[in-house]
Amino acid sequence: MTRMAAELRVLQDRSKTLLLANEDVPAGAEADADAEAEADITAVDGEAVGEVVGEEAGEQPSVATSAPAAATSRLPTTEEERARLEALRMESRLMRHELSKWRHQADSLEAERTGQEREIVYLKAQLAHARDVLDSTRHAVKHHEVERKLREVSLLPLPVDTSGASDIRDLRLLQGGDLSKLMLNTNKGAIEAKAERAIRERTEERAGSLSIKAQRLMGVVSSQQLLIQRLEKQLIKDEDALEQREWQLADAAKQRKRLKGALRQRSDDLVAAAVGVPGMRKKLSSSVPPGRCSDSGSGGMVKSSSVSQLPSIDDKN
């Protein structure tokens, strides 16, 4: 048993050496591995002591000679199993250490990923800004080169005829370095400068005309909007007036209908009174407005005369 404990301690030292050789394993994982190894050694020692005590307690005087032979026959098998079990434990412990190491690396990489993404976005923005600055710088350089070439060309102007065009035949009048300098400046800068100047002038003219048209269109649009607003207000007023007119027409129609009904009823009452329906005269006199119901007035005389003109029913019979 002492030999087995020594072997276990050797294996423990060997595992510690392997763990110390690996620099990426954290300190907490190493402490956990040491604790597990100590627990395994303590358990193995306890098992060995228990087995020895059990063997001593179970010995009989009759089998004293056969017990050492049986113990020696079982000992290699038990030691091999324990060695294999310890090897498996060490392998599992190493695998746990590897797993904890890779987990730690994965966590660290995951923590660094957010910062790297932010840095990538920042670098992309800086790259775009640098490209813009580079493009503007190139444009400014081209512009300065064209201006320089224009200044060089203006130092040696071409001969101009009466029509305003350059006379190429007059180039033969120039001699030596003046002619070569003139041709060099003309070939390199004049054509590009003239083309760029023409394009720039045409672009400026087009931009000016477009701006004028845009201003004119904006004025037209604003005037049309004002006209639309004014027409909308006028339409609202006309709708209000039309609604009021409809209400007036409806009231007039109701009043006309009421007056027509009253006139028809009045005429029916007059006809009934003239025919001599009993009780209708009193009803008619009560319905006549004041000033026309008295027989002394002119209205009464007209009524009596109109009534007297109608024939009586009794006379006809």
Taking only the tens of pLDDT, the chain with its 317 residues reads 455 556 656 666 666 665 554 444 444 544 555 555 555 555 545 554 444 444 444 444 443 444 444 444 444 468 888 888 888 889 888 988 988 889 898 888 888 888 888 899 999 988 988 888 888 888 888 888 888 877 776 544 444 444 544 444 444 444 444 445 545 555 556 667 777 788 888 888 888 889 898 888 998 998 999 999 999 999 999 999 999 999 999 999 999 999 999 999 999 888 888 887 766 555 555 655 554 444 444 444 434 444 444 444 444 43
What pLDDT does 142 receive? 84
What pLDDT does 307 receive? 43
In one-letter notation, the amino acid at residue 313 is: I
- Residue written as token pair 């395994």: 40
Measuring CA to CA, how many Å separate 257 from each of 249, 252, 253, 263, 288? Answer: 12, 8, 6, 10, 21
Cα first-last separation, the chain: 163
Rounded Cα distance, 127 and 167, in Å: 51
Rounded Cα distance, 178 and 94, in Å: 89
134 beta partners: none
160 beta partners: 166
275: CB partners within 8 A, 6+ apart = 310, 313
Could you give the 3-state DSSP secondary structure of residue 276?
coil
Rounded Cα distance, 101 and 82, in Å: 28
Q: Can you give the residue ranges of every domain in the chain?
A: 2-53+78-126
DSSP character at residue 190: I
Q: By C-alpha distance, which of 147, 162, 161 is closest to 192? A: 147
Rounded Cα distance, 255 and 18, in Å: 116
Neighbour tally for 29: CB within 10 Å: 20
Q: What is the pTM of this model?
A: 0.26
Rounded Cα distance, 124 and 195, in Å: 37
Which H or E run contains 96?
helix 67-155
In one-letter notation, the amino acid at residue 127 is: L
